[in-house]
Amino acid sequence: MPKDTFYNLSDEKQRKIFDAAVREFSSRRFSEASINQIVKTAGIPRGSFYQYFSGKEDIFGYVFEKIVEEKREITYQAEDLNLDADVFEICLQATKASYAWGRIKQEYSHIAMLMEIDTSEFITRLRAASFESLIKIIERDKKRGLIKPEIDSELVADMIYALIWKQFSLVGFDEKLYLKKLKDGLSIIKTGITAG
């Protein structure tokens, strides 16, 4: 996260640095992104950057946290989102809200997509941390009797996560088709595929 000196900057300057980082991280994977490009775009000396952030992980963490906060706020304000619903309905409704938000904040969507193909240790840790909230909802549903207690929560979370991203990569440009595929896929995970 930023050093205290960053918060001493004007809101305008903080925003300029944030926007420069978003621009860089939305056009290149974290592992390929350049601090030089961020400082150039922000119009600040490289030395000043290190007065505000300890390095690339630090500024990415800051950008990521700000995006997650905004996404969480938008998602929780969605009219259809019922936090008492089961994990499958929550995922569908949260994805709908995120999809709409992503159309407005396309750079944020690009960052998320680039994170999916970045194999750096830092990004892998960030993905794992965000994955934990999905596992918690699955565990909650087990306690509520909505999911069999013997089901592997991490495996179910993997399946949901893979479904969301795979379908987005295949048909994400078509919102109606994407949400239908997602709804159908979540239904299959929820009910199973056996005939008996």
> Could you read off the pLDDT of 179-194 as tens digits, one per residue?
999 999 999 999 987 7
- Predicted local distance difference test score (pLDDT) of residue 113: 87
Domains of the chain (ranges, CATH numbers): 1-60 (1.10.10.60), 80-195 (1.10.357)
Q: What is the pLDDT of residues 45-96, one digit of tens each?
A: 999 999 999 999 999 999 999 998 888 777 767 666 677 889 999 899 888 8
Contacts of 127 (CB under 8 A, 6+ apart): 115, 116
Q: What is the pLDDT of residues 89-118, one digit of tens each?
A: 989 988 888 887 778 888 988 898 899 889
Contacts of 138 (CB under 8 A, 6+ apart): 87, 147, 151, 153, 156, 157
Portion of the chain with pLDDT greater than 70, in percent? 96
CA distance from start to end of the chain: 52
- Predicted local distance difference test score (pLDDT) of residue 170: 87
- Predicted local distance difference test score (pLDDT) of residue 46: 93
Whole-angstrom CA distances from 138 to 28, 96, 135, 150 are 33, 19, 5, 12
Report which DSSP code applies to 105.
-
Q: How far apart are CA 63 and CA 69, in angstroms?
A: 10
Per residue, the 3-state secondary structure of 139-186, as one string, reads: HHHHHCCCCCCCCCHHHHHHHHHHHHHHHHHHHCCCHHHHHHHHHHHH
Mean pLDDT value across the chain: 90
Asked whether 178 and 172 are in contact (CB, 8 A), the reply is yes
Q: How many helices (H) and strands (E) does the chain have?
A: 10, 0
C-beta neighbour count of 187 within 10 angstroms: 12
- Predicted local distance difference test score (pLDDT) of residue 80: 65
Question: In what helix (H) or strand (E) does residue 194 lie, and over which residues does it extend?
Answer: none
- Predicted local distance difference test score (pLDDT) of residue 196: 59
